[in-house]
Amino acid sequence: MPADELDGPPVAVLPSVEPGDELELFFDRYNESYDETPQSPIQVTAVAVETRELTAETDLLPGSLRSITLTVPEDDETASTYWIEHRTEYEDEEERQSVSALLYENEMFSAMTTTGEVGHIDRVVVHREAE
């Protein structure tokens, strides 16, 4: 595997994703109620990465939440935005990491949006521009 490529489960790969990275997302489960189920793998680009600190006052456990905004494939006519979240939580001396399903938002009108999940991702391949 080239040095500018990462391949593995989302919990291991997503902490290294940066804006501009090209990603291939492999589904292991689709959300059956999602109308435009794209073919696996889907190819997307990381548009933005935002990290927010979680505190015991605002969340169940302290830690961090890393949200990665992604482009939407052209053949998906339902979603306006895709994103996936990587969460790290600390309890006592233990660290736990988890990843959300591939989430979507659809802005039908400025006052009316729909959100939900496209499906569960079990493998991510990241392609980076060689520097």
Q: Mind listing the pLDDT tens digit for each residue in 42-90?
A: 999 999 999 999 887 777 788 999 999 999 998 888 899 999 999 999 9
Q: What percent of the chain has pLDDT over 70?
A: 92
Contact 13, 23 (CB under 8 A): no
Q: What is the pLDDT of residues 1-12, one digit of tens each?
A: 555 788 999 999
> Which stretches within the chain are classed as H helix?
10-13
Q: CA 131 to CA 118: how far, in whole Å?
A: 33
State the pLDDT at residue 43.
94
